[in-house]
Structure 1
Amino acid sequence: MKSIKSKIYAIFLGLLIVSCSGYLDEENLGNTTAENFYSTKDGYEGLVNATYATLRDVYEPTPYIFCAGTDLFFAAHPEVPLGLASYQTLTPGEANVERLFRSLYQSIQIANLALHYADKVEDFPELQSRIAEVKAIRAYYYFMLVQQFGDVSIVENLVNQPITHFERDSASNVYQFIIDQMTEAIVDLPPTQSNFGRVTKRAAQHILAKVYLTRGYETYGEGVADFTKAATLADEAINGQGLNLAFGDLFKYKNDKNEEILWSVQYNKSNSGEVSHNWDYPWGPLVQGANDGVIKKNTLHPTEYLFTLFDDNDTRFEGTFLNIKTNPYTGYLLNPTTTPVQYYYPRTAAQIADVPNWRAEDPVNRTNTIISPMDPHWWDGLNQTDYPALKKFDRVQTAVPSVQYTHDIYLARLGETYLIAAEAYLKSNNPGNAIARVNTVRQRAGVSVVGNVDIDFILDERARELAGEGFRWLDLKRTGKLIDYTKVRNPDIKGLFDGGTNPFLGIDGQLKILRPIPLAVISLDNGEYPQNPGY
């Protein structure tokens, strides 16, 4: 997508909103004013593309706020913020929480700028679609905010002068705003786009299905009515498409633009120094100073629950985890026939029994391989080097010239759409359809179909399908399972509970389920901006 050259300044709660680095750089194009430039097709297209670029800013950091403190991964390194990993020390000063809050509102402001010029720009064939795309992205950002923070301020118009106080809108009103905006967007969004990565009707239906599903659990939600709408929207997003790809192909090297991706944050091969994300970094095992330029650390370590969750023939395990370790690390991608295998990680009895045949298939690269079958050392947080790495976001960086491949981040993909439908059908008292949607996902994975599901099974299925993709904390919060699951499956949190401490219990006797409102927001507001319970 094209970039747009400009710099935007505005104030939200006293926080300076600046341009997205690498995308919005100050440049005066022949003394053209913003009013004139954004009223042209090219100017407006650039502004829409700048809105898309904000997705990269939101998702750029190491994904601790999305993946830490769940039942799938625990903190195995002091780099992981302790408050996000085990909640007890989570405070309004947590930098990762403030960054998310800040980047979401900065991104909303850029979307507001695009919508501000929507009725000032010259007409062109794609205009209504572009407006709908921006509305959908902004609604998605508000969905992120309301799930993380609860009551938040709805800033619907362009802020072009300092504002010293904002009121927090109720979560109920925020959800209604999201639903209204996404519903409007769906009307004007096309079923397909010429540029992969633009929001389509099906992508918006997927997100809106998740919005209704999430609101249905809330006391202010509409219960069965919300779940029914979620199920209908999810099926509309599915649109009769089956899960035709092998699971391992979904995250395959250079296969980011596959048929099952409804919407993603785009990262193309680019020169070193261009924008990228850090989602490949925390999954270990330790890879540092390798000659392929890859750095991975054991910071977010898979739990015993996650490692042992897969049936023997579930292809999602090998599609999620790298069951070998090569040197260099990315040799398994770039030079699989000539790169020695240091470790092999068989997990089933059949795989262990077949090790001699496995070696014989490639004696040059496998004769000296260390065989490391599944046992408790896999989920020992002190184990820095010898366990299967989560590979979904593996990047490639060669030495000279330094060219980097950064994997796209999937925001909506078809496998999850089926599981959204399954959960929505279950909650709307239609277990037959719930079972059918789950079994579609399981059949692609090569495991047996089931005849009964409950919410725990669906969450197990979501763990198998979506591990590491940034949804688990939201899943557990949505379904009310955050404390119940983590206190028995996450060793950090379990240790606190076993010692008699509930790390979720806040200073006011309330539970820390929502994230804290950042201290900078409260201190810079000239009025009263209330803190969330527990902080």
Structure 2
Amino acid sequence: MQAIIKKIYLAALLFLLGSCASKLEVNPISDPSVDNFYRNQQDFEQAINGAYNGLSAYPLRHFFLSEVRSDNMYVPGEGGTYDWNPVNNFTLNASNTLMSGAWSDCYTTIMRCNAVLDNINEQKVPDEAIRNQFTGEARFIRALMYFDLVRFFGAVPEIEHLVSATEAQGIGRTPVPEIYDLIIQDLQAAAQLLPPSYAGAAKGRATSYAARGILARVYLTRSGPVLLEKGPVLNSNEYTNARDLLQEIISSGQYAFINDYAQLFSYDNENNSESVFEVQFKSGGTGTGTVMPAEMLPGSYMRAAKIPVAGGNDFKFVSGDLLDSYPAEDKRLAFNILQGFVDENGNFVNQNYFKKFLDPKRYGVDLRDWGINQPVLRYTDVLLMYAETLLHTGGSQAIVDSLVNKVRGRAGLPPLSGVTIDQLMEERRLEFAAEGLRWHDLVRTGRVIAVMNAWIVQEDEKQVMKPMQAEYILYPIPQTEINIKPGLYEQNAGYN
């Protein structure tokens, strides 16, 4: 827990922006002492904004650890070896920097939330509504981070309060069910403490319905079949719990389906009627933009398109299988995927890339400065998760069909009848491509081993991928964390 040890009781570091990016502004902190910092409502507002800034790493984390890991991308390693190639190939070791980055980012953000929760009280924030909001936001963000940790690493240290460096070195891994207990408690509390919506500049903050939606996703994840002992899926059969939460969101009247798919991701339509929760980004050279469009697309394309900021690595390809899964008439295909391009030298590059979040005219000052929010939970996801719960609980097939066909109709596809779980998962794959959901969907539904191994046989023309096995549902505990106190952590099965 190297990242935690370095940050205990140092508020200046807890709220240090670094490469974080969010529209929620954090002012400089003049006094680095935690005891001295939390004095009034303004201090807590700054602290909560610091926690939101910790979410800036969320989209890229799920791009690499969910999209690249899944059958949506084939990134075997060309033009050199990068940290994401072993993620794709199932050849990871514990020294991979994506592992340490995910662990450190999550715990840094958790500690920001803990600092708020440990210090907030009626004397420092007398306004009960504001105090409840700050508390709810901190618990929502902390739950989101622990949900990432438990899905990626399984059992992890549960740290619910600020602790000293010495104490941190003695905290071992908490079993998965106990981590889930904290996640559920935090999200249930957030659902009660947070407002249903915000107006004006506060739009984009976590709401009570965002908490309900993420909690429903937690219940769905816990409910699936167990493929790996100590993994994130518990066979808990909590589909009814998820269904009821999703029904509350649908019945709330807070959200409305948008009939134009492209408008969901428009730079001019952020925090729209389908946005349940999205990470906020803003370009302008202030350190509040996102790298996502440039990370997905190659520099050679950016130069050919005369976008005057550098692009990412040229070897992050959309899989042929995903491309072929889109019907020719599917409107999402052309919007989501760049199917080859002519480079700056006039040569056709016959490769496919995600371009879902790109507006070529809306670049910022550099490749990390795009001003497009990144979705965490969309209303479409709420509808499709609700359909999924109905299939698991003996609900109305007619409602399932209508919800799936609502999404298909927007994409220009004909309706289906008698929609099955397999068809629903395929619809989710096409709808949420590049949004970081695919690997999680495969894991929680118990499809990951069968789907990935069939896909590897078909897709792995370089023959560099290892067969998918249950141990690879989790990632390795970062070696940097294991080295801090030998024997404190046992490495996840399947990794050296």
TM-score, normalized by the shorter chain, greater than 0.5 = yes
Tell me how far apart the structure 2 counterparts of residues 18 and 52 of structure 1 sit (CA, whole Å).
Answer: 10
Distance 1:164 1:33, change over 3 A: closer
Asked if structure 2 preserves the Cα contact closer than 8 Å seen for 1:487 and 1:493, the reply is: no
Distance 1:268 1:25, change over 3 A: closer
Distance 1:534 1:202, change over 3 A: same
Tell me how far apart the structure 2 counterparts of residues 402 and 473 of structure 1 sit (CA, whole Å).
Answer: 30
Distance 1:466 1:111, change over 3 A: same
Distance 1:218 1:531, change over 3 A: farther
Distance 1:167 1:279, change over 3 A: farther
Name the structure 1 match of 2:332: 316
Name the structure 2 match of 1:237: 249
Distance 1:274 1:135, change over 3 A: closer
For the pair 1:515 / 2:480, whether they are aligned, the reply is no
Name the structure 2 match of 1:90: 92
Asked if structure 2 preserves the Cα contact closer than 8 Å seen for 1:86 and 1:492, the reply is: no
Asked if structure 1 preserves the Cα contact closer than 8 Å seen for 2:363 and 2:371, the reply is: no
Worse-matched range after superposition: 316-325 or 454-463:
316-325
Name the structure 1 match of 2:218: 211
Tell me how far apart the structure 1 counterparts of residues 257 and 342 of structure 2 sit (CA, whole Å).
Answer: 30
Asked if structure 2 preserves the Cα contact closer than 8 Å seen for 1:136 and 1:181, the reply is: yes
Distance 1:389 1:84, change over 3 A: closer
Q: Specify the code of the residue in structure 2 equivalent to 1:318.
A: A
Worse-matched range after superposition: 514-523 or 302-311:
302-311
Q: Specify the code of the residue in structure 1 equivalent to 2:109.
A: S
Q: Specify the code of the residue in structure 2 equivalent to 1:10.
A: K
For the pair 1:302 / 2:304, whether they are aligned, the reply is no
Aligned-residue identity in percent: 26
Name the structure 2 match of 1:439: 405
Distance 1:22 1:271, change over 3 A: same
Tell me how far apart the structure 2 counterparts of residues 285 and 134 of structure 1 sit (CA, whole Å).
Answer: 38
Deviation of the 1:173 alpha carbon? 1.3
Distance 1:480 1:384, change over 3 A: farther
Tell me how far apart the structure 2 counterparts of residues 277 and 136 of structure 1 sit (CA, whole Å).
Answer: 24
Tell me how far apart the structure 2 counterparts of residues 280 and 387 of structure 1 sit (CA, whole Å).
Answer: 16
Q: Specify the code of the residue in structure 1 equivalent to 2:432.
A: L
Tell me which of 385, 389, 395 is aligned to 2:349. Answer: 385
| Aligned partner of residue 477 in structure 2, secondary structure | coil
| Aligned partner of residue 308 in structure 1, secondary structure | helix
- How many matched pairs? 464
Q: Specify the code of the residue in structure 1 equivalent to 2:82.
A: E
Instruction: Give CA-to-partner distance per residue, 1:116-143, whole Å, 9 cap, x none.
Output: 1122622124220121011011001111
Distance 1:102 1:491, change over 3 A: farther
Asked if structure 2 preserves the Cα contact closer than 8 Å seen for 1:129 and 1:190, the reply is: yes
Deviation of the 1:231 alpha carbon? 1.4
Tell me how far apart the structure 1 counterparts of residues 364 and 487 of structure 2 sit (CA, whole Å).
Answer: 55
Name the structure 2 match of 1:287: 301
Name the structure 2 match of 1:149: 153
Name the structure 1 match of 2:16: 19
Asked if structure 1 preserves the Cα contact closer than 8 Å seen for 2:156 and 2:174, the reply is: yes
Asked if structure 1 preserves the Cα contact closer than 8 Å seen for 2:150 and 2:156, the reply is: yes
**Equivalent residues in 2 for 1:18-417, closer than 5 Å:** 19-21=16-18, 29=30, 34-59=34-59, 63-75=63-75, 77=78, 78-79=81-82, 81-87=84-90, 89-119=91-121, 121-124=124-127, 125-162=129-166, 163-194=168-199, 195-219=202-226, 221=234, 223-224=236-237, 226-239=238-251, 241-271=255-285, 275-284=289-298, 286-290=300-304, 291-294=306-309, 295-322=311-338, 385-387=349-351, 389-394=353-358, 404-417=369-382
Instruction: Give CA-to-partner distance per residue, 1:222-277, whole Å, 9 cap, x none.
Output: 643x1111112122223354423301111123322322111111111212755533
Q: Specify the code of the residue in structure 1 equivalent to 2:329.
A: N
Asked if structure 1 preserves the Cα contact closer than 8 Å seen for 2:48 and 2:116, the reply is: yes
Distance 1:221 1:482, change over 3 A: closer
Tell me which of 7, 12, 30 is aligned to 1:10. Answer: 7
Tell me how far apart the structure 2 counterparts of residues 135 and 398 of structure 1 sit (CA, whole Å).
Answer: 34
Q: Which runs of 5+ in 2 are unaligned?
A: 227-232
Deviation of the 1:160 alpha carbon? 3.9
Asked if structure 1 preserves the Cα contact closer than 8 Å seen for 2:68 and 2:87, the reply is: yes
Q: Specify the code of the residue in structure 2 equivalent to 1:134.
A: A
Distance 1:110 1:444, change over 3 A: same
Deviation of the 1:320 alpha carbon? 1.6
Deviation of the 1:398 alpha carbon? 7.8
| Aligned partner of residue 255 in structure 1, secondary structure | coil
Deviation of the 1:525 alpha carbon? 2.3
Tell me how far apart the structure 2 counterparts of residues 293 and 62 of structure 1 sit (CA, whole Å).
Answer: 27
Q: Specify the code of the residue in structure 2 equivalent to 1:305.
A: D
Given the two structures, how large is their TM-score scaled by the length of structure 1? 0.78
Tell me how far apart the structure 1 counterparts of residues 264 and 110 of structure 2 sit (CA, whole Å).
Answer: 30
Q: Which has the higher helix share?
A: 2
Asked if structure 2 preserves the Cα contact closer than 8 Å seen for 1:314 and 1:445, the reply is: yes
Asked if structure 1 preserves the Cα contact closer than 8 Å seen for 2:257 and 2:274, the reply is: yes
For the pair 1:482 / 2:487, whether they are aligned, the reply is no
Distance 1:533 1:527, change over 3 A: closer
Deviation of the 1:407 alpha carbon? 1.7
| Aligned partner of residue 63 in structure 1, secondary structure | helix
Higher Cα Rg, which structure: 1
Q: Specify the code of the residue in structure 1 equivalent to 2:441.
A: D
Tell me how far apart the structure 1 counterparts of residues 108 and 58 of structure 2 sit (CA, whole Å).
Answer: 9
Distance 1:187 1:255, change over 3 A: same
Name the structure 2 match of 1:378: none
Name the structure 2 match of 1:368: none
For the pair 1:426 / 2:391, whether they are aligned, the reply is yes
Name the structure 1 match of 2:230: none
Worse-matched range after superposition: 194-203 or 431-440:
431-440
Distance 1:237 1:402, change over 3 A: same
Distance 1:26 1:491, change over 3 A: farther
CA RMSD of aligned residues (A): 3.3
Q: Which runs of 5+ in 1 are unaligned?
A: 1-6, 329-341, 343-382
